[in-house]
Homo-oligomer: A and B are copies of this chain.
C-alpha cells in the first residue's frame, strides 16, 4: 500500500501495467482472472491493481500465477457507468480510475487499462496525463476486423469527442498513422477519410477542408492518402486507417458490432434448427471455431486513447477475462515499443510542419 511498487514487480525485465479493477460490468473477479491469463502467457508482465484492497487481495491470492507480480493500490471509490464526465472531473479523486491513471502519470507504470465508463476515463486521462503538446482533441482508436492481410483496420475517433474540425481530423490521421505503424508494422499506412461517397464533391465543407489538409501532409508524414472512403471500407482492404469524427465513428462501430452480433445469433439458430443441421454443426466445428475466433470481438478488445502523455487502453465494459487479457496485451505491446514517445515525436514534428499552413478560419467551425 505504499506509493512505490515493490521490488518483485519492478525488476528490470518487467513491464508494469496499471489496471483499474473496478467499473466493468462483471466486477473485479473477472479483471483478476484476465490478469492471470495474461501473466501466464507473458512472464514479462507485472501489474499495479487499483480498487478496494481487501477484496482485491482475496481475489489475487487465489491465483498462484499472480504471486509477486501484482501490487494492490487501495481506493474505495468507484466511477460507475452512470457518472457524468463533468462530475468525475470534479469528484474523481480517490477513485480506482484516478489511481490507475495517476500511476502512469508518476511513471510507475508503462500504461493503463480500464473497462470503466469511457467518457469518465477520457476526462480523467486528460486531467491526469494532460494532452500531448500540439494535440487539440485526443481520440480513441480501435481495431476492426477487415479483409486486409493484417486482419484488422484501425479507425479513429470512435467517441472521445463528438466534434472534430478539419485540423483535428488531420491530427487523427497523423496519430493513427503512428499507431498503425507501431501496432501492425506497416511502414506506409494507407489512410482514408470517412464520408458518404468517394467523389470529391460529397459531404460537409469541413470534410473537404480536411481532405486538402491530409493530402498535403501525406508525403512529409509518410502515409498514402487514399481520399474519401465509405462505411463499407471500414471492414475492407482499401485502407489501413479510417479517419472520422467521434460521433460518426462511434455510431459506425456500434452498428457494425450490432450487425455482427445479430448474424452470429442467426447463424446459431440456423444450426440448431434441425437434426441434420445439428450434425452439420458438429462436423463444421473446427471451421466454425476458426470463423468465431476471427470475428471474436474479445480478441480486438481495447480502444487506445491517442494524444495524451501516456498510454491508456479502454477495455469494453462487458469484457470477460479473455477481453481483459487482450486489452492488457495491447497495453504491453505499445509500452514495449515505446509507442507514447514515438507518437509524441511524430506530433511534435507535424506541429512544426503545419504551423505555417494552419487556416485561421477553422475557428469558424466549432461544431461539425
A: residues with CB less than 8 A from B are 82, 84, 119, 145-147, 159, 162-163, 194, 196-197, 199, 201-205, 230-236, 244, 246-248, 250-263, 265-267, 269-271, 273-274, 276-277, 279-284, 286-288, 290-291, 294-295, 367-368
Copies of the protein in its oligomer: 2
**Is the CB–CB distance between A260 and B263 below 8 Å?**
yes
| Closest chain B CB from A189 CB (angstroms) | 19
Q: A230-B254, A248-B251, A254-B230 are in contact. Are A259 and B277 (CB under 8 A)?
A: no
Q: Which residues of B contact A253 (CB under 8 A)?
A: 231, 255
Task: With a 10 A CB-CB cut-off, give which of A203, A205, A258 has the most chain B CB atoms.
Answer: A258
Q: Which residues of B contact A267 (CB under 8 A)?
A: 267, 291
**Is the CB–CB distance between B201 and A84 below 8 Å?**
yes
Which 7 pairs across A and B sit closest by C-beta, in order of nearness? A231-B254, A280-B284, A232-B258, A280-B283, A231-B255, A277-B287, A270-B287
**Is the CB–CB distance between A279 and B270 below 8 Å?**
no
**Is the CB–CB distance between A196 and B246 below 8 Å?**
yes
Cβ-neighbour of A231 out of B82, B250, B262, B291 (below 8 A): B250
13 A-B pairs whose Cβ atoms sit less than 8 Å apart in the complex: A204-B247, A233-B258, A234-B258, A244-B251, A252-B252, A259-B259, A260-B263, A266-B295, A270-B290, A273-B290, A276-B287, A277-B283, A284-B284
Q: Which residues of B contact A295 (CB under 8 A)?
A: 263, 266
**Is the CB–CB distance between A235 and B251 below 8 Å?**
no
**Is the CB–CB distance between B196 and A367 below 8 Å?**
no
**Is the CB–CB distance between B291 and A284 below 8 Å?**
no
| Closest chain B CB from A122 CB (angstroms) | 12
| Closest chain B CB from A34 CB (angstroms) | 23
| Closest chain B CB from A254 CB (angstroms) | 3
| Closest chain B CB from A148 CB (angstroms) | 11
Q: Which residues of B contact A277 (CB under 8 A)?
A: 283-284, 286-287
Q: A276-B284, A283-B283 are in contact. Are A251 and B231 (CB under 8 A)?
A: yes
Q: A159-B196, A367-B205, A367-B368 are in contact. Are A283 and B294 (CB under 8 A)?
A: no
